[in-house]
Structure 1
Amino acid sequence: MKILAISGSARRNSTNTAMLQAVRAVAPSEIEVSIFDGVGRLPVFSPDLEGEHLPEVVWDFIDAIAKSDGVIIASPEYVRSIPGGLKNAIDWLVSRDEIVHKPIALLHASHRGDDMLAGLRKILETITDRFAGDIFLQLPLMKLEPAEVFRTVETAENRSKVQAYLQAFSAHWMADTKTA
């Protein structure tokens, strides 16, 4: 399975991006995880830029989604909501087909953020018919530096949790693929 892991943070030393990098490092060999950490590089969505005017950076983002079997999103909470960069990235996908039947699951790097997660779940249930809301992993990594995030995820207990999460997502994708 090929997973595109999207970091909802535009911060250079993002905990979410570090978590996704650590997840990629401990993923089972049959699961390939690539990371999109460029929500901050996407231009503000405008319908005027769609079609033949689609910026190359947006096309690259959409192409990465199209080439994946599923998407995992990890995002911080800003002011009890979804960060603007992540919402903007999702806006670029709304009128396109690449996301409509794509399995999506959430991964969270904090012990808090319930308001953001509720809003993000509602949006994802709207843009794809394959949102895997019951496949969720929350790791207490908030305020850790990237090296600490790696060490925390690589512990036997967390490595096991991450691998079980990825395998559950892969099984969800496989089950949906067989019924499609």
Structure 2
Amino acid sequence: MTTLLAISGSLRRDSANTMLLRAAVALAPAGVRIVLYEGVDQLPFFNPDIETAPPPVVRELRGMLSAADGIIVASPEYAHGVPGAFKNALDWLVGCAELGSKPVALMNTSARAVHAHAALAEILTTMGWTVIAAASPVIAVANRGFDAAHIAADPALAGPLRAAIEALVLATRAEVTP
């Protein structure tokens, strides 16, 4: 069983990014389990003084990421940047050598959101994760009000999402490169 951990950079309950990830959970092929992490809003502000002995919620996130074969990230863009709460979550992970070389699907829900997407690619690469280009599509669902069921049922949206999941799964098996 291949396990993928999906993380939304948005704290909004019904964000397009979270809906896309929920659709990914629904579209997971046989032999693949996608787990949606929903605790970004519970993480305390990053503090290097406690990085080596972090709070339980940080240890839980690190453990989930360590156990995952790959990671799916979908994040909005705020003022040409990464949302603060999501950047905070990533800051808690920077020093985790055991997470190095994790293959990542970096999904984008808006073709206009190029700045945060590029920044996230840089951040994740700096962290040692491998952004898989074939698993990192733009699936334009932002500002369209689609829920996860609609995304999963629409062939024009579900097709690229399935292809991205499959590309990430292949990368977890070291069959492809970025």
Q: TM-score, normalised by structure 2?
A: 0.90
Q: Residue 104 of structure 1: CA displacement?
A: 1.3
The aligned amino acid for 1:36 is Y
Gaps of 5+ in 2: none
Contact 2:3 2:32 in 1 (8 A): yes
The aligned amino acid for 1:121 is A
| 2:43 counterpart of 1:42 | yes
Cα RMSD over matched residues? Answer: 1.9
**What's 1:59 paired with?**
59
- After superposing the two structures, state which structure 1 stretch, 3-12 or 154-163, moved more: 154-163
Structure-2 change in CA distance of 1:37 and 1:112 (3 Å): farther
Contact 2:105 2:164 in 1 (8 A): no
**What's 2:155 paired with?**
156
Structure-2 change in CA distance of 1:176 and 1:100 (3 Å): farther
Q: Secondary structure at the match of 2:100?
A: coil
Q: Residue 146 of structure 1: CA displacement?
A: 5.1
**What's 2:12 paired with?**
11
Gaps of 5+ in 1: none
The aligned amino acid for 1:45 is F
**What's 1:106 paired with?**
106
Contact 1:8 1:37 in 2 (8 A): no
Q: Residue 174 of structure 1: CA displacement?
A: 0.9
Q: Residue by residue, what CA displacement relative to the aligned partner does 1:109-166 show, whole Å, maximum 9, x if unpaired?
A: 122110111111111111115332443121111123353x431332123222221111
Contact 1:7 1:75 in 2 (8 A): yes
**What's 1:79 paired with?**
79
Give, in whole Å, the separation in 1 of the partners of 2:139 and 2:31: 23
How many residues are matched?
Answer: 176
Give, in whole Å, the separation in 2 of the partners of 1:12 and 1:116: 20
Contact 1:19 1:150 in 2 (8 A): no
Contact 1:8 1:85 in 2 (8 A): yes
Contact 2:8 2:21 in 1 (8 A): yes
The aligned amino acid for 2:160 is K
Contact 2:76 2:82 in 1 (8 A): yes
Q: Residue 176 of structure 1: CA displacement?
A: 5.7
Q: Secondary structure at the match of 1:137?
A: coil
Give, in whole Å, the separation in 2 of the partners of 1:43 and 1:33: 25
**What's 2:33 paired with?**
32
Q: Residue by residue, what CA displacement relative to the aligned partner does 1:66-89 show, whole Å, maximum 9, x if unpaired?
A: 110011110000000011111111
**What's 2:118 paired with?**
118
